[in-house]
Structure formats: structure tokens, C-alpha cells
Structure 1
Amino acid sequence: MNKYHSSLGGSIEQYAVHNPLGKGGFATVHRATCLRTGLEVAIKMIDKKKITSNNMEKRVAAEVKIHSQLRHPSILELYTFFEDDNYVYLVLEMAHNGELQRYMRANHITFPEEQASLIVRQVVEGLRYLHSHNVVHRDLTLSNLLLMKDMRVKIA
């Protein structure tokens, strides 16, 4: 298994890792490309030291297991996951337009009623799917609503 050492460039497993897309308390997300298929993905790199020091290992493992079983047009897809000594890697569907909140701020827009209604419908459909599988999203915010290339919204 290849180990990823740099925040800029490099590769891990079968993915060429590119620029960072975001950073949270436990993880960073990078744009990446599958070397085998050319598919553009996002790789969330969860720092094992940080989750261990916060006693989050079981919660992260449970979330990864649940997410890997979910398939719905309004839920960001987890393609695969793997780990090394330092990180847990989640290979996710790429949301080219990023977070809904950032997109709205960067473009100084509010959505017209018809488009806002469509966004709400997609979120409700995703939540309905999650709830039908006994999953409760514990952090539903505009930062966790992602915009795809075609402007569909997916819950992350």
C-alpha cells in the first residue's frame, strides 16, 4: 500500500491526489483522480491520531460502515474506503460546485423559489431515505449540502 505524505500532489492506493478542497477538525478533503478509470473523486483523509485522542474511533468506524451501505440520488456516494497507519481514507463522489453555503456566498445569490423548492425536495428525499434505514444525520447544515456539476444537491 502506498502511503500519502504530502498535502500537495502524490498518490495513495490507485488515486492521484490533487489540491485540498476543505479541512475540518479531524480530516482534510482533497480532489483526486482514479489512476485506473480517470474518475474524479474527493478523498476525505481522517487523521487517526485526532480521532483516537478524542475517542472517536468507534463512531467513525460505524459511520463509514453505514455510509458504505447507502445508495440514493440525494446522498453523496462513498465509493470505497481504506486505511494505513495514519489515516482512514474515504473515496467519495466529487461535488464539483462544493458546499451549498459557500456557493451561495461566493456567487452572491439566492435561489428563485422554484430552484429553492427543488433543493428542499432533494434534501427531504435524502432524509426520508436515511430515516427509512434508521439513520439520523447528526450534522445537517448548509455546509453538508453539496452541489453537483448539474446543480443537484446531495447530503454529505
Structure 2
Amino acid sequence: MKRGGSLAFFDSEFSKQLLQKTERKKSNTPSKLQESNGELFSQSPLQVTLNTIPVDQFELYGLMRSNKQTKQNSPAISFNNMTTQTQLIQTTIKVFHEKYETIKILKENKQCQIVQCRNLFTKEYVVAKICTQYQSYEINSEIRVSKTLQKYPHSNLMKLLEMFTDKDTHIFIYEYMYGNTLFEYMQQKHLKLNESEIKAIFKQLLKALKHLHSHNIIHRDLKLDNIMFKTKGDIKSLKLIDFGYATFLSDTKNMNSRCGTPGYVAPEIYEESQPYNQLCDIYSLGAVVHILATGKRIYSSKLTPKEICELNKKNRYEISENLKCPLLYDLITQMLQDSNNRPSVDKCLIHPYFIKLSDLKNSQEHINQQIYELALPKFKNPFKSYQ
């Protein structure tokens, strides 16, 4: 049902958490893979998880009434006059709702909501990610990454349009993705993609990672659900989404965190004593492409979550017999190697898998001609007169 006008997204579990009057200190402990009943799971701010990080919660009693009074008594609000956390939140939310109409909640957890909205002036649909500041270093990292990608956009990365921020509330406004996730796309195709589709999706994801890595950014949660299409049915409109785990290589505090989704996580991320880098994204992409090519995961879904984690730690994956293409088999197995032997994104892009057969043929003919010319050099004809 359509929601609009006033603060609709507070009519949820998210609002109940905010409305509780509590005083909690922010935890300075890095986000880690957590274990519950033997199951390892992630704590991404975009994903609904099995557990959540404690967050600061604020008293918003009388929020609707105070907003109405503000509109009647004062045409303008000065941020300098906002002294309490509640007032700061009210101001940010007020500005947001003056520009956007909330339509429906797409996903939520105790830290954030993903909300479909419409711009009241342009009538365009957008997606709002509304977050509370559960750990300052994590949300600050996401803000820094988002600002960098806003300054240096890429066609295969979900576009950030604008941000609303104050001390404890952060709203990211992204372009609306009309297509489905890659997982849903594969379901529609009954887990069977043709070779041209696989290659097109694979190459676009490599280009997205190349752009991130060129700015020293690591995504750290590449998986089927974090890949969407801007236009329904158009694989060329593919975009990588969700930068809740993304961080800079130079951010040593964030790089100490162990995060991701089991079954996609590079083995080195499990080892707290072992540093990791952007090559962890290459491993995750290898796991994604294996699913595209075979319809199966590299760690069987028939295993328990604990068993998947144990195999993932040891990198004991299995390549499906459905993977028929020798060149793709070679590239995927390279991407799933230990980090010391794993290829960079640039090396993946120049792998023979991405070279057209016609180009290979032309290249071979050119090489053969060069060999022929070396073997049989051209001599001047002594019987021919030259001017």
C-alpha cells in the first residue's frame, strides 16, 4: 500500500527500536563473522541478518506533533539551533520528506531500512537507505566510499544521487533498479544461462571491480543478491550494489574486520592473523561466475552452514561437472586459488576466455605471417632494374 507525506517508515520494527529510550555506548569492536549454533553469518547493514549490532536509540516521542508545530511556527530551521540528538534526527527526516514520498519498505533490520521512494518534484523513483549510526567507523567508511563513487561514477556501479546526514541518522539516496537481482534473473532462466550471457555478465562485473580497485576500494560482499539490473531483462544494465561492507585499503581499522557471506568469502578473510587485499573480491566473483556457468555453488547448499564455513576456510571447493568450457574452467580455478596465486582484475580481463575466436584466428595468422617473413626474407630481384 502506498505511503506518503508524513514519516511513514517509522511504522515498523525499525521505529519501535528507535522509540525506546535507552542509553548505550557505541561498541568499538570491529564487525566480525559471528557464530551462532555453529552457523557463521554476516552483519551487513543492507542485509537482514540473524543477529544485529547494538545501536544507539533515541526518544522520538511526539515527533509527528513537533514537526507540525515547526511548520506552523517557523518557516525555516537552523542547524545551529539543534542541540539534541532527537532534534537533529527530526531535521534530517523533515528535509528528506520535504523532497521524497515514501512508497514501501523493501527490506529492513534494526540498523537500517531500504525504502522505495518517489521524488516529489521530478516524480522519479529512487531507493533510500536509512541508517542509524550503529558503529561510527563503519558508517563513516560507507560515507567516504559513497562520496568517492559519487565523484567517480561507473556505469556498472549503483549510482548515489545524494545523502542526508546528521550526527546519528544517515540517508543514502540511490537510483532505482527496475530489474531484478542476478539471483532472481537466474531463477527466471531456470539456472541455465547461455555462453554469451555468462560472458557479458562476467565482464561487466570485472569492469565494476576494476573501477573500485583503481580507487583502492574493496567491496567485500560480492554475491548474487548484490548484483541487480537497472532495466528488467537487459543484462547490459547490470550494476553492483550494496557498499555497506566496502572500505578503503588504507583504512587499517576497517581492514581488520572479518566480513562477507560464507560460501563467497575468500579464505584469507577467515584468518584474523592474515592480512587481505582487493583479491578477496576476485575470489567472490569466481564463486559467482561458477553459479552462472553451472547453476551450482562451489560449496554445496546441501551442507549445513557450519560445514560450509569449515570448507570455505580451508578453500575446499568443488567445481561442478556442468562447467564444460575449458577456458572458463581455467579462469575460475585461477580466481579460486590462494591469494598469493590469484590473478588481479586486469589479468582476468585479458584471459583468453574473453578473446573472440575471430581475434584469435587473426592473431594466429598474423604470427604465422611474421614467422614466414623471418624464414624467407625478401631479397631484391637482381634482374629487375630500379630507378
Q: When the two structures are superposed, what TM-score results if normalisation uses the length of structure 2?
A: 0.35
Cα distance in 1, alignment partners of residues 111 and 146 from structure 2: 14
Cα distance in 1, alignment partners of residues 107 and 152 from structure 2: 23
Corresponding position of 1:73: 155
Matching of residue 4 in structure 1 with residue 7 in structure 2: yes
Contact 1:70 1:77 (C-alpha < 8 Å) held by counterparts: no
Corresponding position of 2:214: 132
Shift of 1:114: 0.8
- Alignment partner of 1:46 out of 119, 122, 131: 131
Corresponding position of 2:107: 22
Q: CA RMSD in A?
A: 2.8
Matching residue's letter, 1:69: K
Over 3 Å counting, the alpha-carbon distance change for 1:127 and 1:24 in structure 2 is: farther
Matching residue's letter, 2:111: F
Higher strand proportion (structure 1 or 2) = 1
Over 3 Å counting, the alpha-carbon distance change for 1:55 and 1:73 in structure 2 is: closer
Cα distance in 1, alignment partners of residues 6 and 149 from structure 2: 24
Matching residue's letter, 2:147: K
Corresponding position of 1:153: 238
Q: Is there any run of 5+ residues in structure 2 with no aligned partner, and where? A: 12-95, 242-387
Over 3 Å counting, the alpha-carbon distance change for 1:81 and 1:136 in structure 2 is: same
Corresponding position of 2:117: 32
The one of the two structures with greater contact order (alpha-carbon pairs below 8 A, sep at least 6) is 1
Higher helix proportion (structure 1 or 2) = 2
Cα distance in 2, alignment partners of residues 138 and 24 from structure 1: 20
Summarize deviations over 1:6-42 as a string: whole Å, max 9, x none.
Answer: 357xx72411111122235632211111111111111
SS class of match (1:58) = helix
Summarize deviations over 1:57-79 as a string: whole Å, max 9, x none.
Answer: 43233233333223111011001
Contact 1:98 1:146 (C-alpha < 8 Å) held by counterparts: yes
Q: What percent of counterpart residues are identical? A: 23
Contact 2:8 2:102 (C-alpha < 8 Å) held by counterparts: no
Q: Is there any run of 5+ residues in structure 1 with no aligned partner, and where? A: none
Over 3 Å counting, the alpha-carbon distance change for 1:25 and 1:131 in structure 2 is: farther
SS class of match (1:75) = coil
Corresponding position of 1:141: 223
Computing the radius of gyration over CA atoms, which structure comes out larger, 1 or 2?
2
Over 3 Å counting, the alpha-carbon distance change for 1:57 and 1:121 in structure 2 is: closer
Matching of residue 110 in structure 1 with residue 195 in structure 2: no
SS class of match (2:205) = helix
Contact 1:99 1:142 (C-alpha < 8 Å) held by counterparts: yes
Summarize deviations over 1:87-137 as a string: whole Å, max 9, x none.
Answer: 311110111123212343366443221111111111111111111222121
Cα distance in 2, alignment partners of residues 30 and 84 from structure 1: 19
Matching residue's letter, 2:124: L
How many residues in Structure 1 have an aligned counterpart in Structure 2? 151
Cα distance in 2, alignment partners of residues 25 and 148 from structure 1: 27
Corresponding position of 2:145: 63
